[in-house]
Amino acid sequence: MVEDTLIFIPLGIPVWPLLVIRLISAILLTAAISYIWRKRELAAVRKGSHMNESTINTVLFDLDGTLINTNELIIASFQHTLDHYYPGQYSREDILHFIGPSVLV
């Protein structure tokens, strides 16, 4: 997650805001999953059953865009940051070169 943010360092753009945004996103995702998990567990208790290893056998976390396509969000965050520090200097094509081929796939 950090490596695509490090491209901003040679440009003199502070990377801590992007890292904070990513940390907050991870915290919110964890909180949402915890809330949903607890809600399902309470519903199971009301029905007279309990969630255990046999009730749920898989939990998926998608923090790198493998399951959900987050390419446009990544591109938009780069565009927003570059527009803030260098208004109008970088096009979408320039940003795609910064990010690299993994987002283009």
Residues recognised as catalytic: 62
CA triple 59-61-67, angle to 5 deg:
110
CB within 8 Å of 59: residues ≥ 6 apart: 33, 37
65, 72 contact by CB (below 8 A):
no
Lookup result for tokens 């007279």: 48
Tokens of 40: 């399902």
